Structure 1
Amino acid sequence: MDHLRQINPFAKRESHSSTSITTYKILTLLTWVLSVVTSIYYDTTDDVPHNIWHKNYAFYSGFTQNSVITSIYFVILFILQLGYIAHLFSSDSAVASAAASVGSHFIVNNILHAVFVFLFVNSHFVWAEIILIINFINLTSLYFRHNTYPRFIHAPAVSGPLAWTFVALYWNGAIMVPHQHSLVARIFANVFVWSILVYGGFFIIIYKDYTMGFALSVLSASLGVAQFFRQVIAFQWIFAFTIMSVLFVFTLLIAVPAWTGRELPWGGRASATTEPADAERAPLLGE
């Protein structure tokens, strides 16, 4: 069993060898570039049928996203991920080892994201949904096994990609299902959109994770804006903005005490005497 654990790239380790960290540096950087280049190319390409946002609006559904807000979300996420990658090159072995601990899942996420984008723009929505499901499992496993690392690791490598993948399951899934413009499809969209609130609320309340709350509130805003400009007289944009507002407010109730080291409103607590280093780990330490 020890041998299997040693060769398992997803096994949780307290430390990593210099060779292992070097491997993570190379693979993480290469797959991040793959993910970024693929996203940017299909986001900006003049080949309209293969443009992400052409597909988004051409196959309008109850989960269509706003191109501007979601693109900004990814620009910020990619920048934060570059910051995370920089920590792999840190001269502090503890920092580099902590960053390497989520490396395997992050590398898989980058590859699967690039594959999803390629399948999506080529209208292979069923296969794209399968890729999203696999990545959702990958990132969920990462979250529950590595949920106490500092924010510089957690936000770009864990919560940011996971929040998007959860929303994308509905986004792509709604396109995949036939008759997405029908009354039945709209009713289902009106019901399932509330799962974003339930999902985000779970992480906010149980794990005190305001990074997940912020991410889902932004993506809910993107959903609300897209639905409003498509059909003003509809429930979906009202629901989306309500979800955004609730998530944002509850996120602030967690984030502000975590930043200041004061007591959390419920559940876990953050000591008023917490040192800055501990505060840096604070979104997920419901002691």
Structure 2
Amino acid sequence: MSENGVAASGGRRLNPFSRREEFSPQALILHRVCTLVTYLVFLITAIYYTFKAPGEGHKPRRTIWGNNRPTAFAQNSVITSIYWIVIFILQLVYAWSLYSSNVVYVNAAANIGSHYIASNLLLFGFIHLWVRSYFWLALLLIVINFFNMSAAYFRHSTTPRLIHIGTIAGPLAWNFVALYWVGAMAVHKDNLAARIVGNIFIWGFAAYGIFFLAAFKDYTMGFCLSVLAFSTGVGQFLGKIIELQWIFAFAIGALLFVLSLAVAFPAWIGRDIFPRGEVVSEDRERAPLLQDE
């Protein structure tokens, strides 16, 4: 092997985000420990600040949903909380995959491990900033994590389905919506101009979801964004019924749901008529853990 090849190989070993064909026992142990620790840290922090505001720091200090103030992208706390509960449960599948005897699952889980661990740490920091009303700093972490999760998606788009949903598609979809949610709080405007801008920008939900449905046939992203669009719609409806935002949000949620179902149904019955890039390969789609049937 040439010196350049050796250097490149060494660089990949040192880069925690590089894709690898196999992992040493030591590397797997490190992934397992870091996954468990960051999962628990993020989960406990999210639960704690859902019900209790911080006792110190910048004022005003509120719970996570206490800062869900009326904006063009305010969400419904119940729907989004249920969404995250499902994500947390599905992430246990990812954690289990690190202990699997199936090399496909182990390597797939380990390859996205650094992105997943980084996401947990960034969202842990986001919550602490959000509940203390440091909205611009909170938005910065959301932006960084958006790039982190986007990189995970595009570099590991063939991750087995159940791992993909809990660790990539679900968090990335929420992170995209959070750009609007947190950004609206950072700008802190709820006037007519802000509402008009919100009426335009909310269609970004539809464009983003359709992109993944068309380019990757990823109906999981479509369903996730559909749920979050409905959450935004309910949040807007309960806030200001006379506004157009809730109508647009419900329309986008319904559109993404129908399109996602149209992409998913042929795959579920084994008659996929869409020829373009798959999130999961045909062989993996038939694997026992990944069966959609």
Is 1:214 matched with 2:223?
A: yes
Is 1:38 matched with 2:45?
A: yes
Question: In structure 2, how many angstroms separate the alpha carbons of the residues matched to 1:22 and 1:202?
Answer: 36
Question: In structure 1, how many angstroms separate the alpha carbons of the residues matched to 2:28 and 2:282?
Answer: 35
Alpha-carbon offset, residue 275 of structure 1: 7.0
Gaps of 5+ in 2: 1-7, 55-59
Question: In structure 2, how many angstroms separate the alpha carbons of the residues matched to 1:278 and 1:72?
Answer: 27
Matched residue, 1:146: 156
CA RMSD of aligned residues (A): 2.3
Task: Output aligned runs, 1:135-284, within 5 Å.
Answer: 135-178=145-188, 180-265=189-274, 267=276, 276-277=286-287, 280=290
Question: In structure 2, how many angstroms separate the alpha carbons of the residues matched to 1:87 and 1:272?
Answer: 20
Is 1:68 matched with 2:46?
A: no
Task: Output aligned runs, 1:6-45, within 5 Å.
Answer: 6-45=13-52
Question: In structure 2, how many angstroms separate the alpha carbons of the residues matched to 1:138 and 1:273?
Answer: 28
Instruction: Provide TM-score, normalisation by structure 1.
Output: 0.91
Instruction: Provide TM-score, normalisation by structure 2.
Output: 0.90
Contact 1:21 1:97 in 2 (8 A): no
Task: Output aligned runs, 1:103-122, within 5 Å.
Answer: 103-122=113-132
Is 1:132 matched with 2:142?
A: yes
Question: In structure 1, how many angstroms separate the alpha carbons of the residues matched to 2:92 and 2:98?
Answer: 10
Alpha-carbon offset, residue 212 of structure 1: 0.4
Contact 2:61 2:133 in 1 (8 A): no
- 1:272 to 1:121, Cα distance in 2 relative to 1, 3 A: closer
Contact 1:63 1:170 in 2 (8 A): yes
Alpha-carbon offset, residue 46 of structure 1: 6.1
Alpha-carbon offset, residue 125 of structure 1: 0.3
* Percent identical residues: 46
Gaps of 5+ in 1: 283-287
Question: In structure 1, how many angstroms separate the alpha carbons of the residues matched to 2:175 and 2:285?
Answer: 33
Instruction: Tell me the alpha carbon deviations over residues 43-72 of structure 1, each in whole angstroms, 9 at most, x when there is no partner.
Output: 12266942111110xx31000000000000
Question: In structure 1, how many angstroms separate the alpha carbons of the residues matched to 2:41 and 2:13?
Answer: 28
